[in-house]
Amino acid sequence: MNSFHQKNEIFISAAPSENSAKCRIITKMRLTTHKIEEILIGILGIDGAPLIKELLGKSNISEFDLATKTKKDIKVIRKMLYMLYNSNVVGFTRKKDKQKGWYIYYWTLIPDNIRFSYFKTKREQLVQLKSKLEEEQKEIFFVCEDKCTRLNFDQSIGFDFRCPECGKLISQDNNETKIKELIQKIGELEQDLTEEHEIKKEKRKSAKQYKKAVKKKRKIKKKKVKAKKTVKKTKKKKR
């Protein structure tokens, strides 16, 4: 997989193919800078935005440099970095300071793992949306005219078909629009995850082809070496 593009976009690379449909999939399957920030802010919260901006598109950045550039205490920066590390979206190397004798850690975002985190979240969302859709299709919901709260049938009986917030009578809620929206969102998520699956297949296929090519080259090389040895032996015998 490629690292960060000049525009800080993560591209999902696959083996070169003449199939334009596959090329279109590769173009779609990228995480823009905005999307990467959104994923990482989901881990750190909005307070982590300055740190994320400093990490994007760079590698092996000293934690002290990060603290200086974000104008945050080193302990706060370390805590955030360890949160990212526990989510497996950053890696680090460490070097010993020859003068002071302690270790300094250098941090880098891991594009593959950010992408994995992104699609893991998508899969979780898909499960939640399908559960919500099933509930909307099976249950009957009731609301008051002010839409204070939304109750299912059993809850409505418990409140004598009156809103627990304002006390007004409640009536059946028309959830057709809600169901259509859920179906649309589910379709979009399933499309994204299908494309992700296709990319994985392409990558596995590419890896197999690469291994076969390497094995073939090794066999050819061995044959050439054997042939040279045979020629040398023949020449020696003739002498």
Classify residue 186: in a domain, yes or no.
yes
137 and 208 part of one domain: yes
Classify residue 15: in a domain, yes or no.
yes
**Taking each helix axis from N to C terminus, what angle separates 176-238 and 111-138, rounded to the nearest 10 degrees?**
150
- Residue written as tokens 């169901």? 179
Number of H helices, E strands in the chain: 8, 8
Once rounded to an integer, what is the mean pLDDT over residues 143-157?
Answer: 94
Which tens digits make up the pLDDT trace of 85-130? 999 999 999 998 778 778 889 999 998 888 888 888 889 999 999 9
Which tens digits make up the pLDDT trace of 178-224? 999 999 999 999 988 887 766 667 767 777 777 777 777 887 877 77
Is pTM beyond 0.75? Reply is no
107 and 177 part of one domain: no
Where does a domain end: 58, 79, 113? 113
- Residue written as tokens 């009986």? 157
Q: Domain range spanning residue 138?
A: 128-228
What 3-state DSSP class applies to 97? coil
Classify residue 236: in a domain, yes or no.
no
Strands 61-62 vs 103-109: parallel, antiparallel or unpaired: antiparallel
Q: Which residues contact 228 (CB under 8 A, 6 or more apart)?
A: none
